[in-house]
Chains A and B, each alone.
Chain A
Amino acid sequence: MIPGTRRILSALLAAAVSLGVFFPAPAPAARDVAAELRKERGRLLEMKEREEKTALELTEALRKEKLSKGRVGELQKRLKLQRSLLSRIDRKVSALNERLERAEKAVRELEAAHGQARTDLQRAEVVAFAGQRAGAGDPWYPSSRERERHLMRVYLEADAEGVARITRARERKEEELSGLERQGAVTERKMAIEKKVGDTLLSRQEEERRRLAGIEREKKRKEKELKSLRARIARMESVVSRVERQVKERERLARKRAARGSTAKEPAESPRRFASLSGGLSAPLSGKVVTRFGRQHDTTFDVTIENRGVEIEAPSGASVKSVGQGEVAFAGAVSGFGNVLIVQHGGGLFSVYGRLDTFLVKQGEAVKKETVVGSLPESPSGKSVLYLELRAGGTAIDPTSAIPLER
């Protein structure tokens, strides 16, 4: 149960106790009602303060949500830029790969051309040698022979130059190829780094989204809580105004009786202490106190809760006994506390038993000390919890201070 709800339920329980006191039971003195009214007003103010606090918390949640959304947007923008960069690098890698393939093909072609040119050159040398031998010493066409020899020299020089040119071209292509390979390696390393950065950004974005989802859940919870609180405040205001009306009515009746000349004065019933009850108080059941009275810090939600009673853990189905002699002022369901039984011990003393499964007494029925008034519900874990609250003069007191309970 969240702390806000717990506080609201406590307030409602207090209101219910008041109703139990005011309506089914015989009317207390006007002073007590006025005091109770003041207390209820105080509680109402307290609830309003809590509402303001919750509203502030909601505003804070909204601010956090906006901040987180901004961060998510910024991360998305960075991710988009990252993806664009990666895409550019990818395109560059593709272009480099294409150039690499072309260069490799050119190198292969040049190697083939180089081999062919060398073969041609060797063949030309053989032909030239054979031709020179065949034509050597032919006295009838000396000029033609001389020209043919010269042209053969030109041819061989051109062939040799061709081989050298192809060799140079192949070397240049091989250099280009190795340059492209180096460039490709650098680009791939860069791409790997950028991908890593992208992954980091993605994980940060995911983390931020999770945080945002948490904030949104918190926001929704706060909104729901605020809505519920406001509704309960409205209900409480309605109760308070009804009590006020009753107080005014009692005052009016008192003034009317005074006007009739009645001199008899009702003795003021001063609030009594639980310790003064005849026979003292006894524990409603044997069990361990698991929730203490007063302000407690909830580590789960990091909030401070104010408990107006204690919770006693006991075996499922255990019988609940009245802590003292009195009369059943209320037996019914209260939101957040299940079946609630209120025993009026007189003198403004009440004991409240919440989370009951069944009632064994009826409203208006007189009970003695240790009379079984109800039982705890069955639970699969074998353990159930009883809510016990003691009120003296409209103020909740620590039950462990009046009843010996195992802590």
Chain B
Amino acid sequence: MSGAPSLWWIDWRLSRASLVRETIGRFLCFCLLGSAFLSLLLSGGASRFLAGRYAITAVLRAEVPSAEAEGLARKVAALPPVRSAAYRDPETAWKEFLRAYPGLDSAGGAGGNPMPGYIEIRIRPDRLTGAEVGLVASALRSVSHVEQVLAGEAWLPRLLRIGRIASRVCWGIFGAFLAGFFLVGRLQERARAVALAGDFAFLAERGVPAGRLAVLRAASAAVSGFLLAAAGTSAGGGALFLLLGKFPFLEGVIGPPSDLLLPRTAAAIVLFSCAAALLSAAASLLGWRAARSGRK
């Protein structure tokens, strides 16, 4: 090892105990933030929840054969905004109707089952917009087999607006937590810089530039922040995976566990880690500056 001491891990060498505590705390925070980030990412805010409760119903004409209805459902399912399209025959529709109105069990309707078959179309959560829904509905209305399209035009814009607000609120809360985490990190960095101010002055007297010292400290904070964020997010993702497996009803809000294994999720984790590295570096620099200004 050369005579010039390495400045990369100077904080680790000078204040190991406090750094370990901070690192543990940050890791835990990254776990929480990572799982929240992934949840928000998968759910799209309230989009998945709303998409799970919204469906377009294409009521078919009574004389449409089942085979043709099935074929039509397959064609509809192939449309880009459509997540799924399922054909319900009149018998199924009748059963669903009786479940919805149990008082009509014995009525039966004059002349047998009057219910028509229908196709239930679910929209992808990320495509649940008024324009996409209108596109699908107009496509369905042009089909001669379809008697009526129930797309909730009366209440869908309001629902979408509520969804957007809910998403923003969720992301806002996440951002607030992230900001809080950043502020806490800055305070920790400042406190450590103040605590190590004598050591830094000693180094400066021996010719180590203060700027280099600050940059190297920020760089090491970024690296450690990246690693901690990646590890914490991965751990949070794993916990989320287990949670979704254990509580399937959460899938309707967050999404299926398999989505966590998608490359785009990994890319998002990497991006999140990078962002965390930048924030860590920024917190280190801001803490250094605050410590220096406080000393003068």
- B275-288 near A? 1/0 per residue, CB < 8 Å: 00000000000000
| B54 A155 Cβ-Cβ under 8 A | no
Given A120-B110, A127-B103, A143-B150, also A155-B97 (CB < 8 A): yes
**Nearest CB to that of B59 among chain A residues?**
A150
Q: In the complex, which of the residues B97, B107, B120, B152 has the most CB atoms of chain A within 10 Å of its own CB atom? A: B107
| B110 A150 Cβ-Cβ under 8 A | no
Is A244 close to B, CB under 8 A? no
Is A159 close to B, CB under 8 A? yes
Chain A contacts of B265 at CB under 8 A? none
| A142 B104 Cβ-Cβ under 8 A | no
Is A328 close to B, CB under 8 A? no
Q: In the complex, which of the residues B53, B96, B109, B159 has the most CB atoms of chain A within 10 Å of its own CB atom? A: B109
Residues 131-147 of B at the A interface (beta carbon under 8 Å): none
Is A216 close to B, CB under 8 A? no
Which residue in B55, B97, B120 is a CB contact (below 8 Å) of A151? B97
Whole-angstrom CA separation of A135 from B100 in the bound complex = 9
Of A160-168, A197-205, A217-225, the stretch lying at the interface with chain B is A160-168
Whole-angstrom CA separation of A124 from B55 in the bound complex = 26
- B73-111 near A? 1/0 per residue, CB < 8 Å: 000000000000000000001001100110110011111
Taking the nearest CB of chain A, how far is it from the CB of B290, in angstroms? 48
Given A142-B159, A158-B111, also A147-B101 (CB < 8 A): no
Chain B contacts of A151 at CB under 8 A? 93, 96-97, 100, 115
Is B256 close to A, CB under 8 A? no
Is B245 close to A, CB under 8 A? no
Is A117 close to B, CB under 8 A? yes
Whole-angstrom CA separation of A159 from B150 in the bound complex = 22
| B54 A161 Cβ-Cβ under 8 A | no
| B57 A147 Cβ-Cβ under 8 A | yes
Is B155 close to A, CB under 8 A? yes
Is A73 close to B, CB under 8 A? no
Is B69 close to A, CB under 8 A? no
Is B116 close to A, CB under 8 A? yes
| B109 A142 Cβ-Cβ under 8 A | no
Taking the nearest CB of chain B, how far is it from the CB of A150, in angstroms? 6
Q: How many residues of A sit at the interface, in one of the four size bands?
A: 20 to 34
| A143 B55 Cβ-Cβ under 8 A | yes
Given A140-B53, A147-B57, also A154-B103 (CB < 8 A): no
Given A123-B103, A150-B59, A154-B116, also A159-B152 (CB < 8 A): no
| A123 B107 Cβ-Cβ under 8 A | yes
Which residue in A126, A127, A150, A163 is a CB contact (below 8 Å) of B57? A150
Is A397 close to B, CB under 8 A? no
Is A45 close to B, CB under 8 A? no
| A162 B110 Cβ-Cβ under 8 A | yes
Chain A contacts of B180 at CB under 8 A? none
| B57 A143 Cβ-Cβ under 8 A | yes
Chain B contacts of A123 at CB under 8 A? 103-104, 107
- B43-83 near A? 1/0 per residue, CB < 8 Å: 00000000001111101000000000000000000000000
Given A123-B103, A151-B93, A154-B116, also A142-B110 (CB < 8 A): no
| A117 B101 Cβ-Cβ under 8 A | no
Is A152 close to B, CB under 8 A? yes
Whole-angstrom CA separation of A155 from B56 in the bound complex = 20
Which residue in A130, A143, A150, A161 is a CB contact (below 8 Å) of B148? A150
Residues 228-280 of B at the A interface (beta carbon under 8 Å): none
Chain A contacts of B55 at CB under 8 A? 143-144, 147
Is A306 close to B, CB under 8 A? no
A-B contact pairs, 18 of them (CB 8 A): A123-B103, A123-B107, A127-B101, A128-B101, A131-B101, A143-B56, A144-B100, A147-B55, A147-B118, A148-B97, A152-B101, A154-B116, A155-B114, A158-B109, A158-B110, A161-B111, A162-B109, A165-B111
User: Apart from A143-B55, A147-B120, A150-B150, what 15 extra A-B contacts exist at CB < 8 Å?
Assistant: A123-B103, A123-B104, A123-B107, A142-B53, A143-B57, A144-B100, A147-B118, A147-B150, A154-B114, A154-B116, A155-B104, A155-B114, A155-B115, A157-B114, A159-B109
